[in-house]
A and B are shown apart, each in its own frame.
Chain A
Amino acid sequence: MTATAADRSVLIAGVGLHPFGRFPQTVEELARVAAADALADAGVGYGDVELTIVANVGEGMAKAQRLAARLGATGHPVFSVESACASSAAALLAARDAIESGRAGVVLCLGVEKAPRGFIAGAGFEPWQEASGVGVTPIYFALQAQELLAATGGTVQDLAAVSVKNHGNGALNPNAMYRSPVTAEQVLQSKMVCPPLNLLMLCTPNEGAAAVVLMSAEQVRRRGVTWPVAVRAVTLATRSPGDWFVPAPSRLSEVRSSPTLTAAAAAYQEAGLGPGDLDLVECQDTDAASELIAYADLGLCAPGDEVKLLRGGDTQIGGRIPVNPSGGLLSKGEPLGASGLGQVHELVMQLRGRAGPRQVRGARTGLAQVMGAGHVSAVTILAAA
């Protein structure tokens, strides 16, 4: 029987997570824990999965097959996608399309990472950039922060306030790496990395895994999935002429755009929604300024009003549009291949009303955004089904 277009609308049937942090377990074990959690949440076994897409940055050849090997040998297609910090959003995009096309009815997206400590290396820099000291990712975040502060009249106190907000939320998240609230004074007194960014304004590359089981509407109905969440949009944009991000050594002076702007516009169109319809946002707070930049790029405020939105308390839990109620990458850390699916895990918990003390009251629609090296940004919009 051929499924209709409506039957092929895509839903999230289950989510799973291995906490983010530093762990003695192998990367395969982190992956297994998250996948088993998601499969149990969806009420299916690995034998029901028709396609597995693995998101990972740091592992080598045949990583998808190796990372999924502990789940079983079922013969179904297993492959990996890699798009730096947006890897797991790329997996979600491919999974959504596989279901919409009718290729698969049940798809597992599995993001996992064991990132080395310290600055992220191998972000696409040329050897000359690294040797001469400009192939350093926080340089880009710091220069963007300087430009943002100059354009908005913001101060380092505002950057500290983003960190305070997200660490406060992370203290309520048992899966976060850092679970202690911090004060603005602690943020500003933490080690300076690249001015104006202190250590507590930057996220930590770390370890963890997140998994999502996606299903067609037909599969959800047939299997009686009790708590599905609708995938309203998944978009990904890469490098327009006006963008500038890691690892480009130069940019065009006059044109200003962002892959997040592009991906967000496409996502809102795909979902038939606008920023005003959102109840919460999880965004790529690689650093405190990146969160503020995302406010305008995602349409939560007009360009120039980013600091005003923050100072007004709008992006706190209980505010008009809470941003990073999970604690964001600033408190969770960033396992590169898993971070985007970690955001989806948070959105699903929020839309189910099961986010505990960090619950956004009445959350019905949420947006997740990740951005990575190579000027790639992805936006996902989910809604309670």
Chain B
Amino acid sequence: MTAAWVAAELIPAADRDVPPGAPIRLAAARCSACGRCSFPATGTCTWCGTPGSDPVLLAEGTAVAATAVLHRTPGAVVAVPYVVALARFGRAGLDVLGRVPGAAGPAAVPAGTPLRVVAESLPDGRMHYAFALREELTHGSS
């Protein structure tokens, strides 16, 4: 049975039936008119408003900057503290915000750190995307 996702539309259907920690991809889109990518993918380009795009999948990126959330915020189901990074996906030309659950602090994710999109099980049982430090994935999952 496919797990419940916080936002299934962010993940391609082929990547939704995976265990926590497994590598997955993010579903972005490249505009067929202006060539820019958008994440999340929508029916129309978020930059030029043109309908029509090609799917682009984001898997491996590098950190641009990182911080941490130390105090619980309204609506969040995740436990604090946690690290958040902007990950750069070079070929798509996109920087995407996401949690880095395996990082001890922002200093563990300096600019240029290799990151991988993975599935994460949140405390409420739903699945979501997160970023893993790529060296954590050397055994078995890549």
Residue of B6, B82, B88 with most chain A CB atoms under a 10 A cut-off = B6
Residues of B within 8 A of A254 (CB): 93
- In the complex, the answer to whether B99 meets A134 with C-beta atoms within 8 Å is yes
Residue B65 at the chain A interface, CB threshold 8 Å: yes
Choose, from B13-21, B32-40, B134-142, the stretch at the interface. Answer: B32-40
Total interface residues on A, using CB and 8 Å? 33
Residue B96 at the chain A interface, CB threshold 8 Å: yes
Residues of B within 8 A of A241 (CB): 36, 47
Q: 1/0 contact trace for A190-207 toward B, CB 8 Å?
A: 001111100000000000
Total interface residues on B, using CB and 8 Å? 45
Residues of B within 8 A of A128 (CB): 6-7, 10, 128
Partner among A134, A150, A192, A252 whose Cβ is within 8 Å of the Cβ of B65: A150
Task: Determine how close the nearest CB of chain B comes to the CB of A39; give it in whole angstroms.
Answer: 38
Residues of A within 8 A of B106 (CB): 146, 195
- In the complex, the answer to whether B97 meets A119 with C-beta atoms within 8 Å is no
Chain B: CB-nearest residue to A128:
B7
Chain B: CB-nearest residue to A150:
B111
Task: Determine how close the nearest CB of chain A comes to the CB of B104; give it in whole angstroms.
Answer: 12
Contacts between the two chains (Cβ within 8 Å), count: 116
Contacts A132-B78, A132-B122; A194 near B69 (Cβ below 8 A): yes
- In the complex, the answer to whether A136 meets B39 with C-beta atoms within 8 Å is no
Residues of A within 8 A of B68 (CB): 194-195
Residue B102 at the chain A interface, CB threshold 8 Å: no
Residue A73 at the chain B interface, CB threshold 8 Å: no
- In the complex, the answer to whether A119 meets B73 with C-beta atoms within 8 Å is yes
Task: Determine how close the nearest CB of chain B comes to the CB of A205; give it in whole angstroms.
Answer: 13
Residue A126 at the chain B interface, CB threshold 8 Å: yes
Residue A147 at the chain B interface, CB threshold 8 Å: yes
- In the complex, the answer to whether B39 meets A249 with C-beta atoms within 8 Å is yes
Q: 1/0 contact trace for A260-291 toward B, CB 8 Å?
A: 00000000000000000000000000000000
Residue B67 at the chain A interface, CB threshold 8 Å: yes
Residue A24 at the chain B interface, CB threshold 8 Å: no
Given contacts A133-B69, A134-B97, A147-B65, 7 further A-B contacts (CB under 8 A): A121-B74, A130-B75, A146-B106, A251-B94, A251-B95, A253-B88, A253-B93
